[in-house]
């Protein structure tokens, strides 16, 4: 496919613009610009204080010192740092998310700091040597869940990455947080793939319904719609599966995998919940935004029973809960309780976002199996 030629700002058939040539001529005479040395307050003389020296210099510290609060509608669409001195004719980067309510969450700054402080390595920080051979049914159950998680984790890298470049860099904290999320999810894929392949088992089955749900998120028409589907609904459900996984771990290896993934996942869910809250509270047409979001939730919730009525999720969970295939009936009772908890926690997240779904929800109170 033919590609459009790259255009570069060259004038007069030279490498330099007229203004740059004038500057070079002045430099040759030993005359410097030095305007940057004379910039006055308010953007000079700033000394951010480490308010908790044992933590180090945080984003909260520098935001408290200068240009901390983003504008609701920044005038520029550039990569120039918030609070810097800029030329009048900076190019427009073509960002499409230029209003704070479209991307922001009030907990974004501490969440980013937490994310960077809690990065871990799936190679080094998991006690892989504690992994011991398991009975075949338990190993298959662990591997089936690990396969499912390997399949779904990277949606939460792909989806934010798709929207990241479209967000105005004025809201750099959101973009930085989404970068940490993308890295977290890469590590989640890594750790579950490693678990599936590390103990005599292997990668197991993937179901069409799972891929359909992932595709819905990936191709959601707006960021907030995809964020609701992914952060609030999907990752919330995955967080509950992680909690079950930690509870059902058969060794220290699995316990540590799930414990570390829970920390990461809780941040992603927390951002999504607080973003939904910020979006709905600050949307210029608030009532309409809430009504539209209810319409989306009505449809998305109808898909939950189908998404979770997946033999490759509920049966391995039941086998682990029943401590083997012989205890699968008892295990299913526990899986039904997980359903009730998942629904309850989803409704609590919606309530926290000021988006009350309790009377409206289409998620059945009891598992349909």
What's the burial of 326, exposed, middle or buried (CB within 10 Å: 0-12/13-18/19+)?
Answer: exposed
Euclidean distance between CA atoms 193 and 151, whole angstroms: 9
**Of these, 113, 151, 256, 265, which contacts Fe ion (CB under 5 A)?**
265
Stretch 183-212 residues interacting with Fe ion (CB under 5 A):
185, 188
Stretch 75-94 residues interacting with Fe ion (CB under 5 A):
none
- Residue 235 CB, shortest distance to Fe ion, in Å, is 4
Stretch near Fe ion under the rule CB under 5 A, chosen from 95-103, 111-119, 121-129, 149-157? 149-157
- Residue 149 CB, shortest distance to Fe ion, in Å, is 8
Nearer to Fe ion, 268 or 275 (CB): 268
Nearer to Fe ion, 153 or 173 (CB): 153
Nearer to Fe ion, 122 or 367 (CB): 122
Stretch near Fe ion under the rule CB under 5 A, chosen from 59-67, 138-146, 179-187, 210-218? 179-187
Per-residue tokens: 145:
């869940």
Output 113-122 pairs: Cβ under 8 A, ≥24 positions apart. Answer: 113/55, 113/58, 113/59, 113/60, 114/267, 115/177, 115/180, 115/181, 115/184, 115/264, 115/267, 116/180, 118/263, 118/264, 119/180, 119/183, 120/187, 120/260, 121/187, 122/187, 122/190, 122/191, 122/194
Nearer to Fe ion, 235 or 301 (CB): 235
- Residue 93 CB, shortest distance to Fe ion, in Å, is 27
- Residue 255 CB, shortest distance to Fe ion, in Å, is 17
Stretch near Fe ion under the rule CB under 5 A, chosen from 16-24, 37-45, 266-274, 284-292? 266-274
- Residue 166 CB, shortest distance to Fe ion, in Å, is 20
The binding track of 224-263 with respect to Fe ion, each residue x by CB under 5 A or -, is -----------x----------------------------
- Residue 117 CB, shortest distance to Fe ion, in Å, is 17
Instruction: Find the residue with minimal CB distance to Fe ion.
Output: 268
**Of these, 113, 137, 151, 153, which contacts Fe ion (CB under 5 A)?**
153
The binding track of 100-129 with respect to Fe ion, each residue x by CB under 5 A or -, is ------------------------------
Euclidean distance between CA atoms 71 and 92, whole angstroms: 17
Euclidean distance between CA atoms 204 and 142, whole angstroms: 10
Q: Which residues contact 33 (CB under 8 A, 6 or more apart)?
A: 23, 26
Of 182, 191, 121, 114, the C-alpha closest to 150 is 191
Stretch near Fe ion under the rule CB under 5 A, chosen from 7-15, 63-71, 90-98, 148-156? 148-156
- Asked if residues 159 and 221 have their Cβ atoms less than 8 Å apart, the reply is no
Euclidean distance between CA atoms 62 and 251, whole angstroms: 43
Contact status: 275 vs Fe ion (CB under 5 A): no
**Of these, 122, 156, 176, 300, which contacts Fe ion (CB under 5 A)?**
156
Euclidean distance between CA atoms 167 and 258, whole angstroms: 32
Euclidean distance between CA atoms 283 and 289, whole angstroms: 7
Euclidean distance between CA atoms 291 and 74, whole angstroms: 27
**Of these, 268, 277, 349, 357, which contacts Fe ion (CB under 5 A)?**
268
Count of residues that interact with Fe ion, criterion CB under 5 A: 7
| Cα distances (Å, whole numbers) of residue 207 to 212, 213, 259 | 9, 11, 26
| Residues found near Fe ion in the complex (CB under 5 A) | 153, 156, 185, 188, 235, 265, 268
């Amino acid at each position: 496919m033919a590609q459009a030629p790259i255009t570069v700002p060259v004038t007069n058939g030279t490498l330099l613009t007229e203004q740059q040539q004038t500057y070079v001529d002045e430099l040759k005479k030993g005359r410097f610009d030095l305007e940057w040395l004379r910039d006055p307050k308010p953007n000079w003389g700033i000394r951010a204080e480490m308010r908790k020296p044992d933590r180090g210099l945080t984003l909260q510290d520098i935001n408290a010192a200068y240009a901390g609060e983003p504008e609701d509608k920044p005038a520029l669409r550039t990569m120039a740092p918030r609070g810097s001195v800029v030329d009048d004719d900076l190019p427009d980067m073509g960002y499409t998310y230029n209003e704070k309510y479209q991307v922001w969450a009030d907990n974004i700054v501490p969440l980013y700091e937490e994310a960077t402080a809690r990065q871990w390595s799936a190679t080094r920080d998991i006690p892989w040597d504690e992994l011991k051979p398991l009975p075949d049914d338990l190993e298959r159950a662990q591997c089936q869940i690990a396969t499912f998680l390997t399949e779904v984790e990277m949606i939460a890298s792909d989806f934010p990455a798709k929207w990241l470049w479209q967000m105005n860099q004025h809201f750099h904290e959101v973009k930085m947080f989404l970068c940490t999320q993308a890295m977290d999810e890469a590590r989640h894929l890594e750790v579950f793939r490693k678990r599936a392949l590390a103990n005599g088992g292997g990668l197991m089955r993937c179901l069409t319904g799972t891929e359909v749900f992932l595709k819905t998120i990936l191709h959601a028409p707006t960021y907030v719609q995809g964020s609701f589907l992914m952060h609030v609904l999907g990752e919330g459900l995955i967080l509950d599966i992680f909690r079950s996984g930690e509870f059902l771990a058969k060794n220290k290896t699995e316990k540590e995998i799930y414990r570390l993934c829970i920390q990461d996942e809780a941040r992603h869910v927390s951002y999504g919940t607080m973003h939904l809250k910020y979006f709905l509270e600050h949307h210029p047409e608030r009532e309409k935004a809430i009504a539209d979001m209810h319409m989306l939730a009505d449809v998305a919730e109808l898909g939950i029973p189908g998404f979770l009525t997946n033999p490759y999720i509920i049966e391995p969970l039941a086998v682990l809960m029943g401590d083997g295939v012989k205890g699968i009936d008892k295990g299913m009772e526990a899986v039904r309780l997980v359903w009730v908890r998942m629904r309850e926690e989803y409704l609590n997240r919606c309530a926290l976002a000021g988006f009350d779904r309790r009377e409206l929800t289409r998620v059945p109170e009891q598992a349909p199996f």
